[in-house]
Chain A
Amino acid sequence: MRYVADIVVKLKKSILDPQGEAVRSALGSMGYTGVQDVRIGKRIEVRLEAANEAQCRQAVDEMCSRLLANTVMETYDFSVREEPGE
Protein backbone atom coordinates (compact mmCIF):
# COMPACT_ATOMS: atom_id res chain seq x y z
CA MET A 1 0.00 0.00 0.00
CA ARG A 2 1.07 3.57 -0.57
CA TYR A 3 0.74 6.03 2.26
CA VAL A 4 1.33 9.69 2.91
CA ALA A 5 2.59 10.68 6.35
CA ASP A 6 2.03 14.22 7.48
CA ILE A 7 4.57 15.05 10.18
CA VAL A 8 4.72 18.15 12.37
CA VAL A 9 7.90 18.89 14.35
CA LYS A 10 7.80 21.56 17.06
CA LEU A 11 10.18 22.95 19.64
CA LYS A 12 9.36 21.68 23.12
CA LYS A 13 6.92 23.94 24.93
CA SER A 14 9.49 24.75 27.61
CA ILE A 15 11.94 26.16 25.05
CA LEU A 16 11.94 29.81 23.99
CA ASP A 17 11.50 30.11 20.21
CA PRO A 18 13.50 33.18 19.05
CA GLN A 19 12.06 33.03 15.51
CA GLY A 20 8.51 32.80 16.81
CA GLU A 21 9.19 35.69 19.17
CA ALA A 22 10.43 37.86 16.26
CA VAL A 23 7.29 37.03 14.26
CA ARG A 24 5.04 37.73 17.26
CA SER A 25 6.66 41.12 17.66
CA ALA A 26 6.22 41.88 13.92
CA LEU A 27 2.54 40.90 14.06
CA GLY A 28 2.11 43.15 17.10
CA SER A 29 3.65 46.11 15.29
CA MET A 30 1.35 45.42 12.32
CA GLY A 31 -1.60 46.02 14.62
CA TYR A 32 -2.52 42.44 15.51
CA THR A 33 -2.53 43.30 19.17
CA GLY A 34 -4.32 40.12 20.23
CA VAL A 35 -1.41 37.85 19.23
CA GLN A 36 0.05 36.38 22.41
CA ASP A 37 2.44 33.73 21.22
CA VAL A 38 3.89 32.40 17.94
CA ARG A 39 5.73 29.12 17.67
CA ILE A 40 7.46 28.05 14.47
CA GLY A 41 7.87 24.40 13.56
CA LYS A 42 8.25 22.21 10.48
CA ARG A 43 5.79 20.20 8.46
CA ILE A 44 7.25 17.24 6.62
CA GLU A 45 5.37 15.11 4.10
CA VAL A 46 6.71 11.60 3.48
CA ARG A 47 5.29 9.25 0.83
CA LEU A 48 6.09 5.63 1.50
CA GLU A 49 5.15 2.04 0.76
CA ALA A 50 4.19 -0.22 3.65
CA ALA A 51 2.32 -3.52 4.02
CA ASN A 52 -0.38 -1.96 6.19
CA GLU A 53 -1.12 1.10 8.27
CA ALA A 54 0.40 -0.27 11.46
CA GLN A 55 3.72 -0.92 9.73
CA CYS A 56 3.57 2.47 8.09
CA ARG A 57 3.05 4.17 11.45
CA GLN A 58 5.88 2.20 13.01
CA ALA A 59 8.28 3.16 10.22
CA VAL A 60 7.31 6.84 10.36
CA ASP A 61 7.66 6.93 14.14
CA GLU A 62 11.17 5.49 13.82
CA MET A 63 12.10 8.02 11.10
CA CYS A 64 10.91 10.84 13.35
CA SER A 65 12.79 9.75 16.43
CA ARG A 66 16.00 8.92 14.54
CA LEU A 67 16.25 11.77 12.04
CA LEU A 68 13.30 14.07 11.45
CA ALA A 69 13.12 15.42 15.01
CA ASN A 70 15.77 15.91 17.66
CA THR A 71 13.90 14.81 20.77
CA VAL A 72 16.35 16.67 23.02
CA MET A 73 14.66 19.91 21.95
CA GLU A 74 11.71 18.96 19.72
CA THR A 75 8.48 16.98 19.82
CA TYR A 76 6.76 15.40 16.83
CA ASP A 77 3.32 14.28 15.83
CA PHE A 78 2.06 12.70 12.62
CA SER A 79 -0.94 11.33 10.81
CA VAL A 80 -0.93 8.83 7.95
CA ARG A 81 -3.40 8.31 5.16
CA GLU A 82 -3.63 5.90 2.28
CA GLU A 83 -2.71 7.49 -1.01
CA PRO A 84 -5.50 7.02 -3.55
CA GLY A 85 -4.53 4.72 -6.46
CA GLU A 86 -3.86 6.11 -9.93
Chain B
Amino acid sequence: MKFGVVVFPGSNCDRDVQTAARAAGYEADFIWHAATAVDGFDCLVLPGGFSYGDYLRTAAIARFSPVMAAVAEFAASGRPVIGICNGFQVLLEAGMLPGAMLKNTSCRFLCKAQRIRVESARTPFTLKLRPGQVITLPIAHGEGNYYADSETLAQIERHGQVVFRYCNESGGATPESNPNGSLGNIAGVCNEAGNVLGMMPHPERAGEQILGGADGRLILDSVAQWVQGGGRIG
Protein backbone atom coordinates (compact mmCIF):
# COMPACT_ATOMS: atom_id res chain seq x y z
CA MET B 1 0.00 0.00 0.00
CA LYS B 2 1.60 3.21 -1.14
CA PHE B 3 0.20 6.69 -0.64
CA GLY B 4 1.32 9.50 -2.94
CA VAL B 5 1.20 12.83 -1.15
CA VAL B 6 1.04 15.81 -3.50
CA VAL B 7 3.17 18.71 -2.30
CA PHE B 8 2.14 22.18 -3.47
CA PRO B 9 4.19 25.24 -2.54
CA GLY B 10 2.58 26.11 0.80
CA SER B 11 1.29 22.65 1.72
CA ASN B 12 2.00 22.08 5.40
CA CYS B 13 0.30 18.78 6.29
CA ASP B 14 2.26 16.74 3.73
CA ARG B 15 4.71 15.38 6.31
CA ASP B 16 1.90 14.69 8.77
CA VAL B 17 0.22 12.48 6.16
CA GLN B 18 3.48 10.68 5.43
CA THR B 19 4.19 10.16 9.13
CA ALA B 20 0.67 8.92 9.87
CA ALA B 21 0.73 6.53 6.90
CA ARG B 22 4.15 5.14 7.87
CA ALA B 23 3.08 4.79 11.52
CA ALA B 24 0.15 2.72 10.27
CA GLY B 25 2.56 0.48 8.36
CA TYR B 26 2.09 1.84 4.83
CA GLU B 27 4.45 3.44 2.35
CA ALA B 28 4.09 7.12 1.56
CA ASP B 29 6.12 9.29 -0.80
CA PHE B 30 5.83 12.88 -1.92
CA ILE B 31 4.81 14.03 -5.40
CA TRP B 32 6.00 17.55 -6.23
CA HIS B 33 3.25 19.69 -7.78
CA ALA B 34 5.28 20.15 -10.97
CA ALA B 35 5.23 16.39 -11.65
CA THR B 36 3.20 15.23 -14.63
CA ALA B 37 2.98 11.54 -13.71
CA VAL B 38 1.71 9.78 -10.59
CA ASP B 39 2.74 6.20 -11.38
CA GLY B 40 3.24 3.59 -8.70
CA PHE B 41 0.79 4.91 -6.13
CA ASP B 42 -2.37 3.24 -4.83
CA CYS B 43 -3.99 6.34 -3.36
CA LEU B 44 -3.31 10.05 -3.88
CA VAL B 45 -3.56 12.52 -1.02
CA LEU B 46 -3.92 16.28 -1.49
CA PRO B 47 -2.84 17.52 1.94
CA GLY B 48 -3.79 20.53 4.02
CA GLY B 49 -1.97 23.83 4.11
CA PHE B 50 -2.04 27.08 2.20
CA SER B 51 -1.19 26.16 -1.37
CA TYR B 52 0.29 29.16 -3.21
CA GLY B 53 -0.45 31.16 -0.07
CA ASP B 54 -4.15 30.76 -0.87
CA TYR B 55 -3.71 33.95 -2.92
CA LEU B 56 -6.87 35.10 -4.71
CA ARG B 57 -8.98 32.32 -3.09
CA THR B 58 -8.15 29.15 -1.23
CA ALA B 59 -6.73 26.62 -3.70
CA ALA B 60 -7.56 28.81 -6.72
CA ILE B 61 -4.04 28.65 -8.11
CA ALA B 62 -3.09 25.14 -6.94
CA ARG B 63 -5.77 23.59 -9.10
CA PHE B 64 -3.77 24.70 -12.20
CA SER B 65 -0.59 22.94 -11.01
CA PRO B 66 0.87 20.61 -13.62
CA VAL B 67 0.24 17.56 -11.41
CA MET B 68 -3.53 18.13 -11.36
CA ALA B 69 -4.08 16.68 -14.86
CA ALA B 70 -2.48 13.43 -13.66
CA VAL B 71 -4.55 13.53 -10.45
CA ALA B 72 -7.75 13.90 -12.51
CA GLU B 73 -6.71 11.02 -14.75
CA PHE B 74 -5.91 8.83 -11.71
CA ALA B 75 -9.37 9.62 -10.30
CA ALA B 76 -11.08 8.97 -13.63
CA SER B 77 -9.54 5.49 -13.66
CA GLY B 78 -11.50 4.72 -10.46
CA ARG B 79 -8.59 4.86 -8.04
CA PRO B 80 -8.88 6.63 -4.67
CA VAL B 81 -8.07 10.32 -4.23
CA ILE B 82 -8.54 12.13 -0.92
CA GLY B 83 -8.27 15.87 -0.35
CA ILE B 84 -7.91 17.01 3.25
CA CYS B 85 -8.68 20.61 4.25
CA ASN B 86 -6.80 22.71 1.65
CA GLY B 87 -6.71 19.53 -0.47
CA PHE B 88 -10.52 19.43 -0.31
CA GLN B 89 -10.55 23.04 -1.48
CA VAL B 90 -8.27 22.09 -4.40
CA LEU B 91 -10.70 19.33 -5.46
CA LEU B 92 -13.60 21.82 -5.30
CA GLU B 93 -11.73 24.44 -7.32
CA ALA B 94 -10.76 21.79 -9.86
CA GLY B 95 -14.40 20.80 -10.26
CA MET B 96 -13.61 17.23 -9.16
CA LEU B 97 -16.12 17.65 -6.32
CA PRO B 98 -19.27 19.79 -6.21
CA GLY B 99 -19.54 23.02 -4.20
CA ALA B 100 -17.22 25.73 -2.88
CA MET B 101 -15.80 26.98 0.43
CA LEU B 102 -16.75 30.26 2.05
CA LYS B 103 -15.17 31.87 5.10
CA ASN B 104 -16.30 30.42 8.41
CA THR B 105 -19.39 32.33 9.59
CA SER B 106 -17.48 33.30 12.76
CA CYS B 107 -14.71 34.84 10.57
CA ARG B 108 -12.31 32.98 12.87
CA PHE B 109 -9.67 30.39 12.10
CA LEU B 110 -10.88 27.28 13.95
CA CYS B 111 -8.42 24.83 15.45
CA LYS B 112 -9.98 22.22 17.70
CA ALA B 113 -11.17 18.63 18.04
CA GLN B 114 -14.51 18.12 16.30
CA ARG B 115 -17.00 15.26 16.27
CA ILE B 116 -18.20 14.11 12.89
CA ARG B 117 -20.83 11.55 11.95
CA VAL B 118 -20.19 9.01 9.23
CA GLU B 119 -22.95 9.22 6.62
CA SER B 120 -21.66 6.77 4.05
CA ALA B 121 -19.54 3.65 4.40
CA ARG B 122 -19.57 2.91 0.68
CA THR B 123 -16.44 4.91 -0.14
CA PRO B 124 -12.95 3.37 -0.13
CA PHE B 125 -12.13 5.71 2.77
CA THR B 126 -14.96 4.66 5.06
CA LEU B 127 -15.07 0.86 4.62
CA LYS B 128 -14.09 0.27 8.24
CA LEU B 129 -16.67 2.71 9.55
CA ARG B 130 -20.42 2.36 9.77
CA PRO B 131 -23.14 4.90 8.94
CA GLY B 132 -24.11 6.82 12.07
CA GLN B 133 -20.75 6.22 13.76
CA VAL B 134 -19.36 9.30 15.53
CA ILE B 135 -15.60 9.89 15.35
CA THR B 136 -13.46 12.78 16.56
CA LEU B 137 -10.88 14.48 14.35
CA PRO B 138 -9.08 17.82 14.53
CA ILE B 139 -10.25 20.68 12.33
CA ALA B 140 -8.01 23.65 11.46
CA HIS B 141 -9.36 26.07 8.89
CA GLY B 142 -10.58 29.58 8.18
CA GLU B 143 -12.55 28.70 5.05
CA GLY B 144 -14.47 25.52 5.72
CA ASN B 145 -18.00 26.81 5.29
CA TYR B 146 -19.27 24.41 2.64
CA TYR B 147 -21.59 25.90 0.05
CA ALA B 148 -23.43 24.52 -2.95
CA ASP B 149 -26.55 25.87 -4.65
CA SER B 150 -29.81 24.23 -3.58
CA GLU B 151 -30.05 22.10 -6.71
CA THR B 152 -26.51 20.72 -6.28
CA LEU B 153 -27.10 20.17 -2.58
CA ALA B 154 -30.27 18.16 -3.24
CA GLN B 155 -28.41 16.13 -5.83
CA ILE B 156 -25.46 15.19 -3.60
CA GLU B 157 -27.84 14.29 -0.77
CA ARG B 158 -29.89 12.14 -3.14
CA HIS B 159 -26.80 10.34 -4.45
CA GLY B 160 -25.40 9.72 -0.97
CA GLN B 161 -22.34 11.88 -1.62
CA VAL B 162 -22.31 13.45 1.83
CA VAL B 163 -19.74 11.32 3.67
CA PHE B 164 -19.32 13.20 6.96
CA ARG B 165 -21.35 15.77 8.93
CA TYR B 166 -20.32 17.87 11.92
CA CYS B 167 -22.26 16.61 14.94
CA ASN B 168 -22.54 16.55 18.72
CA GLU B 169 -21.59 13.67 21.02
CA SER B 170 -24.83 11.81 20.40
CA GLY B 171 -24.46 12.15 16.64
CA GLY B 172 -26.94 14.97 16.14
CA ALA B 173 -26.03 17.25 13.24
CA THR B 174 -27.40 20.32 15.01
CA PRO B 175 -26.76 24.05 14.34
CA GLU B 176 -24.81 24.21 17.65
CA SER B 177 -22.46 21.44 16.52
CA ASN B 178 -21.79 23.15 13.19
CA PRO B 179 -18.43 24.90 13.65
CA ASN B 180 -18.25 26.94 10.45
CA GLY B 181 -21.69 27.43 8.92
CA SER B 182 -21.47 24.60 6.37
CA LEU B 183 -24.77 23.85 4.65
CA GLY B 184 -26.26 20.64 6.03
CA ASN B 185 -23.36 20.44 8.54
CA ILE B 186 -21.34 18.96 5.66
CA ALA B 187 -17.76 18.07 6.63
CA GLY B 188 -16.94 15.77 3.72
CA VAL B 189 -18.30 14.94 0.27
CA CYS B 190 -17.39 12.43 -2.42
CA ASN B 191 -17.92 12.30 -6.16
CA GLU B 192 -20.78 10.24 -7.56
CA ALA B 193 -18.59 7.15 -8.00
CA GLY B 194 -17.28 7.47 -4.43
CA ASN B 195 -13.54 7.22 -5.17
CA VAL B 196 -12.80 10.94 -4.72
CA LEU B 197 -13.33 12.28 -1.20
CA GLY B 198 -12.85 15.76 0.20
CA MET B 199 -12.99 16.42 3.94
CA MET B 200 -12.16 19.40 6.15
CA PRO B 201 -11.19 17.43 9.30
CA HIS B 202 -7.63 16.06 9.48
CA PRO B 203 -7.42 12.25 9.83
CA GLU B 204 -3.60 12.43 9.61
CA ARG B 205 -3.48 14.48 12.82
CA ALA B 206 -5.30 11.75 14.72
CA GLY B 207 -3.47 8.60 13.71
CA GLU B 208 -2.02 7.58 17.07
CA GLN B 209 -3.28 7.73 20.67
CA ILE B 210 -0.29 9.84 21.67
CA LEU B 211 -1.75 12.61 19.49
CA GLY B 212 -4.99 12.58 21.46
CA GLY B 213 -6.94 10.21 19.26
CA ALA B 214 -6.58 7.48 16.67
CA ASP B 215 -9.86 7.77 14.76
CA GLY B 216 -8.02 9.08 11.70
CA ARG B 217 -6.26 5.75 11.39
CA LEU B 218 -9.62 4.17 10.43
CA ILE B 219 -9.64 6.24 7.24
CA LEU B 220 -6.10 5.23 6.23
CA ASP B 221 -6.84 1.58 7.10
CA SER B 222 -10.09 1.67 5.12
CA VAL B 223 -8.43 2.78 1.90
CA ALA B 224 -5.57 0.30 2.43
CA GLN B 225 -8.06 -2.54 2.87
CA TRP B 226 -9.92 -1.39 -0.22
CA VAL B 227 -6.74 -1.27 -2.31
CA GLN B 228 -5.57 -4.65 -1.00
CA GLY B 229 -8.94 -6.06 -2.02
CA GLY B 230 -8.05 -5.05 -5.59
CA GLY B 231 -10.54 -2.25 -5.50
CA ARG B 232 -11.18 0.04 -8.38
CA ILE B 233 -14.41 1.82 -9.06
CA GLY B 234 -15.94 1.84 -12.51
Within 8 A of A (CB), among B143-161: 145, 147-149
Q: Is B77 an interface residue (CB 8 A)?
A: no
B148 and A18 form a contact (CB under 8 A): no
Given known pairs A18-B107, A19-B107, A67-B64, the reply for A72 and B56 (CB within 8 Å) is no
B102 and A18 form a contact (CB under 8 A): yes
Q: With a 10 A CB-CB cut-off, give which of B64, B107, B148 has the most chain A CB atoms.
A: B107
Contact of A73 among B56, B64, B102, B105 (CB under 8 A): B102
Interface size on A, residues (CB 8 A): 11
B148 and A16 form a contact (CB under 8 A): no
Q: Is B127 an interface residue (CB 8 A)?
A: no
Contact of B147 among A15, A19, A22 (CB under 8 A): A15
CA distance A68 to B145 in the complex (A): 20
* 0/1 string, B98-128, CB within 8 A of A gives 1: 0110111111000000000000000000000
Given known pairs A15-B102, A18-B103, A22-B107, the reply for A72 and B147 (CB within 8 Å) is yes
A18 and B104 form a contact (CB under 8 A): yes
Contact of B181 among A18, A70, A72 (CB under 8 A): A18
* 0/1 string, A20-38, CB within 8 A of B gives 1: 0010000000000000000
What would 13 more interface pairs be, CB under 8 Å, given A16-B105, A72-B147?
Answer: A15-B102, A15-B147, A16-B181, A18-B105, A18-B181, A19-B103, A19-B107, A67-B56, A67-B61, A67-B64, A70-B100, A72-B149, A73-B100
By Cβ-Cβ distance, the 9 closest A-B pairs, closest first, are: A72-B100, A73-B100, A18-B105, A18-B107, A18-B103, A22-B107, A70-B100, A73-B147, A70-B57
